[in-house]
Chains A and B, each alone.
Chain A
Amino acid sequence: MFVEYFTMRLLFILFAVLILLFSACEKLLPKAPAPEETLDGPMEGLTTEQSIQFARGDEAFGEVFTPATGLGPIFVMSSCAGCHTGDGKGHPFATLTRFGQSDSTGNNYLMQGGPQLQHRAIPGFTPEVLPSGAPFSRFLPPAVAGIGFLAALSDAQILSYADPNDADGDGISGVPNYITPPPYFVPGPYHIPQNGKYIGRFGRKAAAIDLLIQTVNAYHQDIGITSIFEMVDPINFQVSGQGNDPIPDPEVSNSVINDVVFYLRTLKPPTPRNSSDPDVMAGKNIFTDIKCGKCHIPEWTTPQSDVAALSNKTFYPYTDLLLHDMGPGLDDGYTEGSAKTSEWRTTPLWGLGLSKIAQGGQYFLMHDGRAKSLESAIMLHGGEASDSKNLFQQLNSSDKAKLIKFLESL
């Protein structure tokens, strides 16, 4: 009798514990970070088919390549997500080195591995080294969140902010970087060519015209992955007889490339945080007062797009996608396309406050990560941004803090 009673009681307790545990299952699992605290994720309004393609692209973006799947033979990183962790800014570990071009006549080091250094190699191969005397610059990978909105803009919209000869006399020019497209480039109705060249809008020097070119180049130059668009592995010409890897080309299919491009196009834009905070609001006014917004154009609206979720959307990237002379302090002596060596594309500021969650809890800002704080990044601005920098310097510490708080809210 006792045994039966005890057994019944034990079974009841076990059953109750199980019911409790499984009913509380959801609460026992880690919660998702708030949407505004992360950079990854799809934009709102995608159809079911688009959401599925986004998911495929997301998976491909995270795919880690190995020597068995085509990595290298010389490379910089083994996956897209390795450079763009959480779709945010890159870490110095993922720094690219570009070399070989110092003016608009082109790259003189193409037969010595230019324009990008592949400083890592799979076992059995030798990585490249920077040729002696070659002009070079180091590029930290930019954030990719919201990049589809920038891709959706028309050339006419970008050109509306261009002022190559500083006609308005504000000391700020803003010039597009005209790039010779690769053979596979298909111009859209929103492109405005000039002498067979097209406006670049992606990359530190705005050397990539669209996201397909950016993606193909990244697969090829960063990971050493061939596609139908770039069928030959990057080869180290500095070593006699070094060949390609033994994996048949192309190493990724067209559909993978297209999925990744679609993924990039439909990543959600960074969500501003604490917008109603009085300090943030005051910082926003200071941002305008000291003329940061002359180049870091806050607001844009997309034209009609083949992706409905991208059509006629107002967004806040804080860039004009144009080149600006940033002064001798940031002139590395290297350039791409028609840009001068001191010219850099205005970096979008959206997502700036979330950079730390992709950069290991600290800031690595400017094109090569040399600035370790927002204030030092501002102080590195020169050339056309000198006035803004000087105005920043004249701010009292309270106003400086408000401006920084605003930038961190983006």
Chain B
Amino acid sequence: MKIFFLLSFFIPCFALGQSDSLRKDSLITNMNKDAGYNRPAFFGDRFPVSLGGYLEANTHYGGTDGVNEGLSFQMRRLTLFMFSRLSSRTRFLTEIEFEDGTKEINIEAALLDFQIHRLLIFRGGVILNPIGSFNQNHDGPKWAFIERPLVSTTLIPSTWSNPGFGFHGSGLLGDLWQWNYEAYLTQGFDDQIIANETNRTFLGATKENPDRFEESFNGSAMGNLKTAFRHSSLGEFGVSWMGGVYNAFRVEGEIVDDKRRVDVFAFDLSLNPGKNTNITGEFAMVKVDVPKTYFQQFGSGQYGFFLDWNQKICNPRIPGFPGSALYYSFRLERVDYNTENFSEIDGGGKIYDELWGLNTGFSLRPQNETVIRINYFYRWHRDLFGNPASKSAALQFGVSSYF
């Protein structure tokens, strides 16, 4: 009873202290690396374990080449966050996501940070691999579009997280620049990346492996490095790499194949060229060592990019929502899933399997944490042989909000 009394007195005090210390947390910057900590739930007067999350739901009316899929209501994701500062030098964060209803339930992140020095923070757990910026900074309410960028979903398999360990840190470069780095060793990919039903090299296929949080597919680690720079007024850009062996080169201790690597390189930027303008983009390139005796359909090279332009139009006066803002946004994206040439045709012949996409829409933010979006996208996909493009389009209306 005495213990209960003491706890009931001290916990709220501790919570207040925690939220204050979090607000002033010297480890947290405005950069993509710390997007996980820059969440509204963690900046209130909360219990020592801060709870939060976000919701994403939308309608989708679309079709392909005259085949109308009709209207669907989609519950894209419900994500729950938990954060706790265990001491001044340790903190914990987890993100659990329910995607497409309960079709996918994932631990997207479970991070334990131990600060040795501001430039040397040890991190362990389930790590959101820092490749590009979208994978780390992917919360629905932050984006103007319901659809995630194709390069960040079909090349970089956002959200891509793995058990692993490593270090990160950040610092200042003069008065105007911030800098950070991340370096991890995590679980890697498996051979489903070149053996899957999408009929193309698809790194996201590894997510289908139910054992990937428990056991490495081939007993080797994947390396992952990222560094990013942020100018106080211009914005942020980063370069990143992840790579490792993906195939089962060893079975029961016997070497049965060459070690075959997959490497992903990414460049990302987030610029603020004007007070009301933001430009976000990501470029990624994938290199895979595909066995020569396999199948050219599964390409050894891929690349893609997206570029989002977000322009604030006005601050509409909506009673009860003093900070509301209306934005117009436009996205250009391209993915080439196979950069090779056919070996079956004299003189080569490009393998296509590529896609261009345009996405446009308005988003109303009645408050910072919430976005109401109307989007329209149009995509042109050319098949492996470069036949006339298949055209897809959809009109979407959706909401997303932190809670």
User: Which A residues are within 8 Å of any B CB, using their own CB?
Assistant: 2-4, 6-7, 10, 14, 17-18, 21-22, 25-26, 28-33, 64, 66-69, 71, 78-79, 82, 85-86, 91-93, 95, 120-124, 126-127, 357-361
Whether B291 lies near A25 (C-beta < 8 A) is no
A21-B374, A29-B62, A29-B393 in contact; A7/B319 too (CB < 8 A)? Answer: yes
Cβ-defined contact, B194 with A91, below 8 A: no
Q: What sequence of 0s and 1s flags, for each residue 251-280 of chain B, a beta carbon within 8 Å of any chain A beta carbon?
A: 000001100000000000000000000000
Interface residues of B in 285-334 (CB under 8 A from A): 291, 293-297, 316-319
Question: Which B residue sits closest to A121, measured CB to CB?
Answer: B293
With A6-B316, A358-B385 in contact, do A93 and B342 touch (Cβ < 8 Å)?
Answer: yes
**Listed stretches B28-36, B150-158, B195-203; interface member:** B195-203
| Residue B12 lies at the interface, judged by CB distance under 8 Å to chain A | no
Give B59's nearest chain A residue, CB to CB.
A22
Please give the distance in Å from A73's CB to the nearest CB on chain B.
Answer: 11
Across the interface, B197 reaches (CB within 8 A) one of A6, A64, A361, namely: A64
> Which B366-403 residues sit within 8 Å CB-CB of chain A?
374, 376, 378, 383-388, 391-395, 397
Tell me whether B395 and A21 are in contact (CB under 8 A): yes
The reply to whether B345 and A92 contact each other, CB–CB distance below 8 Å, is: yes
Q: How far is the CB of A82 from chain B (nearest CB, A)?
A: 7
Q: Which of A22, A31, A93, A95 has most B Cβ within 10 Å?
A: A93
| Cross-interface CB contact of B376 among A26, A28, A64, cutoff 8 Å | A28
* A6-B317, A22-B395, A123-B294 given; A33·B65 CB < 8 A: yes
- Asked if residues A30 and B293 are in contact (CB atoms below 8 Å), the reply is no
Q: Smallest Cβ distance from A124 to chain B, in angstroms? A: 7
The answer to whether residues A78 and B295 also contact, given A7-B317, A18-B374, A360-B349 and a CB cut-off of 8 A, is: yes
B378: chain A residues at CB < 8 Å are: 30
Which A residue sits closest to B67, measured CB to CB?
Answer: A32
Shortest C-beta distance, B391 to chain A (Å), equals 4
List, in ascending order, chain B residues with CB within 8 A of A14's CB.
364
What CA separation (Å) do A21 and B295 show in the bound complex? Answer: 44
A30 touches B392 (CB 8 A): yes
> Smallest Cβ distance from A91 to chain B, in angstroms?
5
> For residue A17, which residues in chain B have a CB less than 8 angstroms away from its CB?
362, 374
B388 partner residues in chain A, CB cutoff 8 A:
357, 361
* Nearest 9 A/B pairs, CB to CB: A32-B66, A360-B385, A30-B391, A29-B63, A360-B386, A64-B199, A92-B344, A91-B385, A66-B195
Q: Is there an interface contact between A30 and B349, defined as CB atoms closer than 8 Å?
A: no
* B293 and A127 contact, CB distance less than 8 A: yes
A121 to B64, CA, bound (A): 33
Q: How far is the CB of A106 from chain B (nearest CB, A)?
A: 29
Chain A residues positioned under 8 Å from B364 (CB to CB): 14
The distance from the CB of B199 to the nearest CB of chain A, in whole angstroms, is 4
| Beta-carbon contact of B395 and A30 below 8 Å | no
A18 surroundings in chain B (CB, below 8 A): 374, 397
Q: How far is the CA of A68 from the CA of B317 in the complex (A)?
A: 57
Q: Are A22 and B67 in contact (CB under 8 A)?
A: no
Contacts of A127 in B (CB 8 A): 293
Instruction: Give every chain B residue within 8 A of A6 (Cβ-Cβ).
Output: 316-317
| Given A22-B61, A124-B257, A95 contacting B344 (CB threshold 8 A) | yes
